[in-house]
């Protein structure tokens, strides 16, 4: 496969109730039921059950030494006044009748003993009776335990439900300042100005300038928005209260709004101060974007708006928010007086990438052959987070190899690991697989090398990494944001080069599943060209909007079925053309293909210069040329 991207795995928070709580609840239930059941058995007494002469009992009753006689089913329970050696429980048929017969009537009438008739106890009935009272209590207890846990995990320390955790940055051991943020000069300047507002409000007021209330940091994930906000805190020297939108998303009804109130209350009390709401899109997505869902988010969002509207010019609180998705934000947030200042944080350009790499390699011992400029050149499109990741991986790789200093090989390994996934040293391919992979990758390389508008081949390898069998890298000579139709068509053709090489060498039935990601890439890119870039073979300069999401959450087609068919035909036409060109190039240059595959099998990895040496003299056949 040609270009490789690292897959992002956002860490999902685990909202599952801990098994600890469930264990506790279970034992609580067992103990409660056990205790109550025992208690119900133990009425007056149950330890003795020997049968004794009723006359003896009667004698005691006459002497007024009995407190009470209880008749319960077939049992007679006796409670003596002071402990006579009396049985406490006697079993017999029809105890009430027996008492009558035995002449108890007289003593009872004289008031010398009381007799009470009780319903016989049914174990299950009594358990049910108890359960009716106990179960709801347990459920309520469980619910509270669960809430407490939630609240704790949101806070990392227990606090009231409605209390926002005031994370005060700037006092930590490792204070972040603008020095730690490389590149993004424009954004840093904007933020420095905000800091100045807070420090010297008089200067601005004297000139009649309105102090901004809300600043929105917008940009791709990993571009350093959170880092920059922390740097603001480090620079400002004013209290900095921070909370993340995703934390709100986990809260119970009403809690989000009350947290916002609490957060703003604290900030005002400590003014001048800064509130930072990270990932604000988590609460402030367009109200209709989720089909009217998220009442709780809406309450939270409304509360934020209410609080911001309540600021007066002297409140001295500035709200900074960050988002990866400005397009998803509720428009109400962007109105004047709210987040009306926008700071765009962009993916780093080459010189910024060098600067970021320098920041992250600063405290790491590196060999003199480590070339950060070259690494920056290879990492077009990477975010600051990706680069930080490479630096870290390089250190780990060196440590794993038992080295004290990071070598260039460690850096290269780290770069490839971050971009594609770790090398699968353990999985050995059999000879057949290796041969197929070698031809497949050689196919990509030959087509890419020969086509006039393709980026040069940077490296070819048949060492498996991540889920891919091998990789062919193409690297643009410099950063470019735009590609023209010829370049894109060459991308399509070189992507087909892998499978076409397999076909030519092993026959039409010899193709493998190794090309599936290439095919996917081709159909996605072809679709994008036709529907979004107006780059079809016939459909030109027209775009077909497929990104509107309709009421049902489906992508709405803003075009007819007939156009849809035409689009499919166009995509097919691009894919066919690419296949045809790849095939033509490979057939015309079969001996170069063979030689490259042979060298790959021998060396496993070939660098840019080696590839160029092997393919010297390979030529573009006329049929693969595009009409311009
Ligand atoms: P975002 O909030 O935009 O998704 P982060 O601020 O969380 O990105 O960035 C993640 C990490 O990437 C930072 O902690 C830092 O190590 C690194 N990073 C990102 N941008 C830069 C930069 N401009 N300079 C230095 N390091 C950066
Ligand atoms: Zn491939
Ligand atoms: Mg962030």
Q: What is the pLDDT of residues 409-449, one digit of tens each?
A: 999 989 888 876 666 554 556 778 888 999 999 999 999 99
Distance CA 406, CA 370 (A): 8
Q: Ligand 3 centre from 322 Cα, in Å?
A: 7
Backbone angles phi, psi at 274, to 5 degrees: -125, 135
Strands 75-80 and 89-91: antiparallel
- Nearest ligand to residue 217 Cα: 1
Atom 12 (ligand 1): residue with closest C-alpha? 385
- Nearest ligand to residue 513 Cα: 2
* Token pair recorded at residue 224: 């350093």
Query: Can you name the CATH fold of 350-419?
Result: Helicase, Ruva Protein; domain 3 (1.10.8)
Atom of ligand 1 nearest to the CA of 345: 3
The 3-state DSSP class for residue 426 equals coil
Atom 9 (ligand 1): residue with closest C-alpha? 224
* Token pair recorded at residue 610: 């080696």
Q: Ligand 2 centre from 422 Cα, in Å?
A: 18
Query: Can you name the CATH fold of 431-624?
Result: Methane Monooxygenase Hydroxylase; Chain G, domain 1 (1.20.58)
Specify the pTM: 0.55
Q: What is the pLDDT of residues 181-201, one digit of tens each?
A: 998 888 899 888 888 888 887
Q: Which residues contact 460 (CB under 8 A, 6 or more apart)?
A: 441, 442, 444, 445, 470, 471, 472, 473, 596, 600, 605, 606, 611
CA angle in degrees (0–180, nearest 5) for 386-216-274: 100
Q: What is the pLDDT of residues 542-560, one digit of tens each?
A: 777 655 555 555 555 667 7
Domain 167-344 has CATH 3.40.50.300: yes
Contact 142, 21 (CB under 8 A): yes
What residues does each domain of the chain span?
21-41+124-158, 50-120, 167-344, 350-419, 431-624
Contact 146, 17 (CB under 8 A): yes
Q: Check residue 8 and give its pLDDT.
A: 35
* Token pair recorded at residue 271: 């003014």
Q: Check residue 348 and give its pLDDT.
A: 84
Mutate to test the pocket of ligand 1, among 220, 224, 357, 393 (most ligand atoms within 8 A of CB): 224
Placement of tokens 């990392």 in the chain: 156
What sign has the CA pseudo-torsion 298, 300, 302, 304? negative
* Token pair recorded at residue 306: 């209410």
Q: Check residue 389 and give its pLDDT.
A: 92
Contact 317, 273 (CB under 8 A): yes
Q: Ligand 3 centre from 217 Cα, in Å?
A: 10
Q: Check residue 121 and give its pLDDT.
A: 64
Q: Ligand 3 centre from 244 Cα, in Å?
A: 9
- Nearest ligand to residue 470 Cα: 2
Residue spans of the chain under pLDDT 70: 1-25, 34-53, 82-90, 93, 119-122, 150-174, 249-254, 285-296, 313-314, 380, 420-429, 465-468, 477-481, 541, 545-558
Q: Ligand 3 centre from 561 Cα, in Å?
A: 42
Which residue, among 566, 559, 613, 577, has the nearest Cα to 449 in the 3D structure? 613
Q: Check residue 85 and give its pLDDT.
A: 67
Pocket of ligand 1 (CB under 6 A): 181-184, 219, 221-227, 322, 356, 359, 384-385, 388
Atom of ligand 1 nearest to the CA of 184: 23
Q: What is the pLDDT of residues 359-410, one digit of tens each?
A: 999 989 998 888 998 888 777 678 899 899 999 999 999 999 999 999 999 9
Q: DSSP for 273-302? A: EEEEEETGGGT-B-TTTTTT--HHHHHHHH
Q: Which residues are catalytic?
A: 441
Domain 50-120 has CATH 1.10.10.10: no
* Token pair recorded at residue 268: 């005002």
Placement of tokens 């040293």 in the chain: 425
């Amino acid at each position: 496969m040609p270009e490789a991207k690292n897959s992002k795995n956002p860490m999902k928070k685990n909202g599952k109730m801990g098994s600890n709580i469930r264990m506790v609840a279970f034992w609580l239930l067992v103990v409660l039921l056990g205790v109550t059941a025992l208690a119900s058995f133990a009425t007056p007494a149950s330890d003795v059950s020997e049968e004794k002469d009723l006359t003896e009992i009667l004698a005691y009753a006459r002497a007024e030494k009995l407190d009470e006689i209880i008749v319960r089913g077939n049992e007679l329970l006796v409670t003596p006044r002071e402990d006579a050696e009396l049985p406490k429980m006697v079993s017999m048929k029809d105890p009430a009748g027996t008492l009558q017969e035995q002449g108890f009537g007289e003593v009872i009438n004289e008031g010398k003993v009381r007799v009470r008739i009780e319903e016989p106890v049914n174990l299950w009935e009594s358990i049910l009776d108890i359960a009716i009272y106990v179960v709801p209590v347990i459920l309520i207890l469980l619910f509270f335990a669960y809430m407490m846990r939630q609240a704790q995990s949101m806070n990392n320390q227990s606090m009231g439900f409605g209390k926002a955790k005031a994370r005060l940055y700037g006092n930590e051991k490792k204070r972040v300042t603008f020095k730690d943020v490389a590149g993004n000069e424009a954004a840093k300047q904007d933020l420095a100005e905000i800091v100045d507002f807070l420090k010297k409000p008089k200067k601005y007021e004297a000139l009649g300038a309105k102090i901004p209330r809300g600043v929105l940091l917008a940009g791709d994930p990993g571009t350093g928005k959170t880092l920059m906000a922390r740097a603001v805190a480090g620079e400002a020297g004013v209290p900095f209260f921070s909370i993340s939108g995703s934390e709100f998303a986990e809260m119970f009804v009403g809690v989000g709004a009350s947290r916002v109130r609490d957060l703003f209350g604290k900030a005002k009390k400590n003014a001048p101060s800064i509130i930072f709401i990270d990932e604000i899109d988590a609460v402030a997505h367009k109200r209709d974007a989720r089909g009217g869902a998220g009442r709780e988010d809406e309450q939270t969002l409304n509360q934020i708006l209410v609080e911001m509207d309540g600021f007066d010019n002297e409140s001295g609180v500035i709200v900074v928010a960050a988002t990866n998705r400005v397009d998803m934000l509720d428009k109400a947030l962007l109105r004047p007086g709210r987040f009306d200042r926008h700071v765009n944080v962009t993916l780093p350009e080459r010189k910024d990438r060098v600067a970021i790499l320098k920041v992250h390699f600063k405290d790491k011992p590196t060999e003199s052959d480590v070339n950060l400029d070259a690494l920056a050149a290879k990492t077009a499109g990477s975010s600051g987070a990706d680069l930080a990741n490479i630096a870290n991986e390089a250190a780990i790789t060196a440590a794993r190899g038992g080295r004290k200093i990071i070598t260039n090989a460690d850096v290269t390994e780290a770069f490839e690991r971050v971009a594609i996934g770790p090398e699968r040293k353990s999985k050995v391919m059999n000879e057949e697989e290796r041969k197929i992979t070698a031809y497949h990758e050689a196919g990509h390389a030959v087509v890419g090398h020969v086509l006039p508008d393709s980026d040069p081949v940077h490296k070819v390898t048949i060492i498996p990494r991540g889920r891919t069998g091998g990789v062919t890298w193409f690297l643009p000579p410099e950063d470019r944001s735009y590609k023209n139709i010829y370049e894109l068509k060459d991308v399509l053709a070189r992507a087909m080069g892998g499978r076409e090489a397999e076909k030519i060498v092993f026959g039409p039935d010899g193709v493998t599943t190794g090309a599936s990601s290439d095919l996917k890439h081709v159909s996605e890119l072809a679709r994008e060209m036709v529907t979004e870039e107006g780059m079809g073979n016939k459909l030109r300069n027209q775009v077909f909007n497929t990104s509107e999401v309709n009421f049902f959450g489906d992508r709405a087609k803003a075009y007819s079925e007939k156009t849809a068919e035409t689009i499919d035909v166009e995509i097919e036409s691009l894919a066919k053309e690419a296949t045809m060109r790849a095939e033509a190039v490979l057939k015309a240059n079969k001996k170069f293909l063979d030689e490259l595959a042979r060298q790959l099998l021998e060396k496993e990895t070939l660098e840019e210069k080696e590839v160029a040496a092997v393919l010297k003299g390979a030529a573009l056949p006329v049929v693969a040329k595009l009409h311009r």
